[in-house]
Structure 1
Amino acid sequence: MSVGTWTQRVFLLLGIYHSATRTLASTPELHEPPANIAVVGAGIGGAAAAFYLRQEFGPTVKIDVFEPADVGGRLATAEMANQEYETGGMVIHPLNLHMKHFVDKLGISVRQEVPSKKAVFDGSELTFEESDWFIVNFLRMLWRYGLNYLFMQMWVESVMDKFMRIYQYQQYGYSFTSMERLLHAMGGDDFLSLMNHTLEETMRAEGFAQIFLNNVVAPLTRQTYGQSVRINGLAGALSLTGADSGLWAVDGGNKRVCSGLLYHSKSDLIRARVTNISFKVRPSKTGPSTGFYEVSYVGDGGAGHSMYDIVVIATPLHQGQSDISFSGLSSPVVSQFPGIYHQVFSILVHGVLNTSYLGVTRPASEFTVSEILTADSKDNVMYSLTSVDPVHIPPGYSRPPASQTKVWKVFSPRALDQEDLRRMFLSWDSVSQTPWLAYPTYRPPQRLTPPFILHSRLYYLSAVEWAASSMEMSAISARNIALLAHHRWHKQMGQIDQEDLHTRLRGEL
Structure 2
Amino acid sequence: MSARTLSALLFLCLVQVGRRGLASAPELREPPKKIAVIGAGIGGTAAAFFLRQEFGASVKIDVFESGSVGGRLATEDVGGHEYEMGGSILHPLNLHMKHFVDRLGLSARAEVPTKLAFFDGKELVFEESDWFIVNFLRMLWRYGLNSIRMHMWVEGILDKFMRIYQYQQFGYSFTSAEKMLHALGGDAFLSLLNQTLEEAMRSHGFSQAFINDVVTPISRFSYLQSVRLHALVGAVALSGTDSGLWAVDGGNKKVCSGLLYNSKAELISARVTSISLKTRPSKTGSVSSLYEVNYVGESGSAHSLYDIVIVATPLHQGLSDISFSGFSPPVPSHFPGRYHTTVSTLVQGVLNVSYFDPARAPGEFYVTDIFTTDKEELGVASVSAVNPVHIPPGHSRSPAGRSKVWRMFSNEPLSEEQLRTLFVSRERVLERRWLAYPSYRAPERRAPPFVLHQNLFYINSIEWAASSIEMNAVSARNVALLARHRWHGQTEKVDQEDLHARLRGEL
TM-score (norm 2): 0.94
Q: Which amino acid aligns with 2:464?
A: W
Alignment partner, residue 312 of structure 1: 310
2-side partners of 1:296 and 1:263: how far apart?
24
Q: Which amino acid aligns with 2:80?
A: N
2:423 to 409, 422, 425: 425
* Residue pair 2:323, 2:332 contacting (<8 A) in 1 also: no
Report the more deviating stretch, 379-388 or 84-93. Answer: 379-388
2:67 to 66, 69, 79: 69
CA gap of 1:241–1:506, structure 2 versus 1, over 3 A, is closer
Instruction: State the SS of the aligned residue for 1:132.
Output: coil
Measured against aligned partners, the alpha-carbon deviations of 1:330-373 in whole angstroms (never above 9, x if no partner) come to 21011111111111100000001110111342211110010001
2:176 to 165, 178, 186: 178
- How far off its partner does 1:378 sit? 5.0
Q: Which amino acid aligns with 1:352?
A: V
Alignment partner, residue 469 of structure 2: 471
Alignment partner, residue 98 of structure 1: 96
The 5-angstrom pairing of residues 7-406 of structure 1 reads 27-284=25-282, 286-377=284-375, 379-406=377-404
Report the more deviating stretch, 129-138 or 374-383. Answer: 374-383
Alignment partner, residue 12 of structure 1: none
Alignment partner, residue 461 of structure 1: 459
CA gap of 1:146–1:508, structure 2 versus 1, over 3 A, is closer
1-side partners of 2:283 and 2:53: how far apart?
33
1-side partners of 2:451 and 2:378: how far apart?
41
Q: Which amino acid aligns with 1:189?
A: D
Report the more deviating stretch, 463-472 or 275-284. Answer: 275-284
Q: Which amino acid aligns with 2:238?
A: L
Alignment partner, residue 444 of structure 2: 446
Q: Which amino acid aligns with 1:301?
A: S
CA gap of 1:158–1:53, structure 2 versus 1, over 3 A, is same
- How far off its partner does 1:318 sit? 1.0
- How far off its partner does 1:27 sit? 4.7
* Residue pair 1:218, 1:228 contacting (<8 A) in 2 also: yes
Report the more deviating stretch, 397-406 or 437-446. Answer: 397-406
- How far off its partner does 1:127 sit? 1.1
Measured against aligned partners, the alpha-carbon deviations of 1:470-501 in whole angstroms (never above 9, x if no partner) come to 00000000000000010010011001001243
Alignment partner, residue 19 of structure 1: none
2-side partners of 1:179 and 1:503: how far apart?
20
1-side partners of 2:49 and 2:210: how far apart?
42
**Unmatched 5+ stretches in structure 2:** 1-20
- How far off its partner does 1:507 sit? 4.7
- How far off its partner does 1:448 sit? 1.2
2-side partners of 1:338 and 1:221: how far apart?
23
CA gap of 1:204–1:294, structure 2 versus 1, over 3 A, is same
Instruction: State the SS of the aligned residue for 2:407.
Output: strand
2-side partners of 1:27 and 1:508: how far apart?
19
- How far off its partner does 1:283 sit? 2.7
* Residue pair 1:122, 1:380 contacting (<8 A) in 2 also: no
Measured against aligned partners, the alpha-carbon deviations of 1:213-251 in whole angstroms (never above 9, x if no partner) come to 110101111110000001111000011011111000000
- How far off its partner does 1:123 sit? 1.2
- How far off its partner does 1:286 sit? 4.7
Instruction: State the SS of the aligned residue for 2:400.
Output: coil
- How far off its partner does 1:160 sit? 0.8
Q: CA RMSD in A?
A: 1.4
* Residue pair 1:320, 1:336 contacting (<8 A) in 2 also: no
* Residue pair 1:85, 1:388 contacting (<8 A) in 2 also: yes
2-side partners of 1:197 and 1:313: how far apart?
29
* Residue pair 2:120, 2:376 contacting (<8 A) in 1 also: no
CA gap of 1:426–1:502, structure 2 versus 1, over 3 A, is closer
Q: Which amino acid aligns with 2:32?
A: P
**Unmatched 5+ stretches in structure 1:** 1-22
2-side partners of 1:392 and 1:311: how far apart?
36
- How far off its partner does 1:506 sit? 5.0
Instruction: State the SS of the aligned residue for 2:380.
Output: coil
Measured against aligned partners, the alpha-carbon deviations of 1:97-123 in whole angstroms (never above 9, x if no partner) come to 011011011110110010101001111
Measured against aligned partners, the alpha-carbon deviations of 1:424-443 in whole angstroms (never above 9, x if no partner) come to 10111110000011000001
2-side partners of 1:31 and 1:285: how far apart?
14
2:435 to 437, 457, 464: 437
Instruction: State the SS of the aligned residue for 1:493.
Output: coil
Q: Which amino acid aligns with 2:369?
A: E
Q: Which amino acid aligns with 2:428?
A: S
The count of residues paired between Structure 1 and Structure 2 equals: 486
2-side partners of 1:97 and 1:26: how far apart?
34
TM-score (norm 1): 0.94
2-side partners of 1:365 and 1:90: how far apart?
27
* Residue pair 1:126, 1:360 contacting (<8 A) in 2 also: no
2-side partners of 1:352 and 1:225: how far apart?
26
Measured against aligned partners, the alpha-carbon deviations of 1:245-301 in whole angstroms (never above 9, x if no partner) come to 100000000000000000000000000000000000113465212210000000112
